Amino acid sequence: MVSGRVWARAAGVAMLAVFLVACDDEPAERKAFITFLQTRIIDKQGLRVPHLSDDEAKSIGPYAKQYAIITDFNDGLDRSVAKPMAAAIERGAVHSLSEVVTRHADFVVVRDGVALLRGTVEAQLAKADAAHAALKQPDDLKPVFDEAYERDVTLPAQAFTDICPDLSEELAAIVDLGDFLEQHKDVIKINGAAVESSDPSLQPHLAALVHALTAKNEAIVRAQQHLRDVMNGT
């Protein structure tokens, strides 16, 4: 009959063997992870966030959890911010001055929603930054991971954050103009791309509102181009 002490010793030896095998795998897993980050993200132009294949996940072992910080952030950004923002920009586009009045309710909804999008970006970035800061990484891995993180997390988050104020202000300008036109609909007429007022005293305020809307439209175009540059790496 085998004693409990012998069983315990055998179990301890088995656990030590597993531990040593795991330790032996770590350098190869780390090297594979560094190569993946370098060749699949850093050496590419623009935003590249490839999801790990089963073989890739196996090759980098526990480092897959570290890479998940990047993929989880981007999946959340795409789902919770990028797609809703694209919809907001499309819904908030003004194709004619008459829409400023006829689609006033749409613009109010989109204006209020954009403010929430910025908060979503900031919350998701804070979560990713906290997980990134908590990592304990070898000296050869850390700078490579940091560069990939900057490319795939920090820069896109900043680009989306930067576009939010201009988008919010553009929508506010649309709503303000719509409110003004509705309040003075008896003396203001929309004629194609022009707005005419039979009350000269309203003209300066009306002109200022139209100018604000035009300026913010131009700002949105610049912000969208910056966002595309970040995504494309130009």
Tell me the pLDDT of the chain (234 aa) as tens digits: 444 454 445 445 444 444 444 456 899 999 999 999 999 999 998 788 999 999 999 999 999 999 999 999 999 998 888 888 888 777 777 778 888 888 888 888 888 888 788 889 999 999 999 999 999 999 999 999 999 999 999 999 988 888 888 888 888 888 999 999 999 989 888 887 778 888 989 989 998 998 888 887 777 777 777 677 766 766
Spatial separation of the C-alpha atoms in residues 133 and 130, rounded to whole Å = 5
- Four-residue CA torsion sign, 173, 174, 175, 180: positive
Specify if 19 maps to a domain: no
> Which string of DSSP letters, residue by residue, matches 31-75?
HHHHHHHIIIIITSSS---PPPPHHHHHHHTTHHHHHHHHHHHHH
- Domain assignment present for residue 142? The answer is yes
For residue 6 the two structure tokens come to 């012998």
pLDDT of residue 233: 61
Q: Is residue 4 part of a domain?
A: no
Residue 177 in domain:
yes
**195 within domain boundaries:** yes
Rounded Cα distance, 179 and 177, in Å: 5
Q: Domain range spanning residue 125?
A: 64-232
Tally the domains of the chain.
1
Residue 68 lies in a domain: yes
pTM, two decimals, is 0.77
Q: Which pLDDT value is given to residue 133?
A: 97
Query: Residue 49: inside a domain, yes or no?
Result: no
